[in-house]
Structure 1
Amino acid sequence: MQFCGECGKKYKENLKFCPHCGTPSELLDDSSTTQPASTDDYKTQIRGG
């Protein structure tokens, strides 16, 4: 399994995009054994409606 560098969720290594957030896999970290960064490193997104 690989972790998405954008959303931090697990997904299969052979996918071209993260199935959770859609980030292309070539933009993600290639190391499949590393854990995602601490949640303290993530910023909260606020979206208008």
Structure 2
Amino acid sequence: MKIFVKAKPRAKNEKIEKIGEDCFKVSVKEPPEEGKANQAIVKALAEYFK
């Protein structure tokens, strides 16, 4: 499976929005420092597709 992700770090609310057939907008509270936002996005997507 291949998806495209638009990341939004430092968001007020964490959420995943489907914006296209295989495109998602993922908002996370973590900052884009030292991979923290990336880890949060992976965790959120894993839970979403579980």
From the two aligned structures, give the one with the greater helix fraction: 2
Whether TM exceeds 0.5 here: the answer is no
Give the structure, 1 or 2, with the largest relative contact order (CA under 8 Å, sep 6 or more). Answer: 1
TM-score of the superposed pair, with normalisation by structure 1? 0.21
Larger gyration radius, structure 1 or structure 2: 1
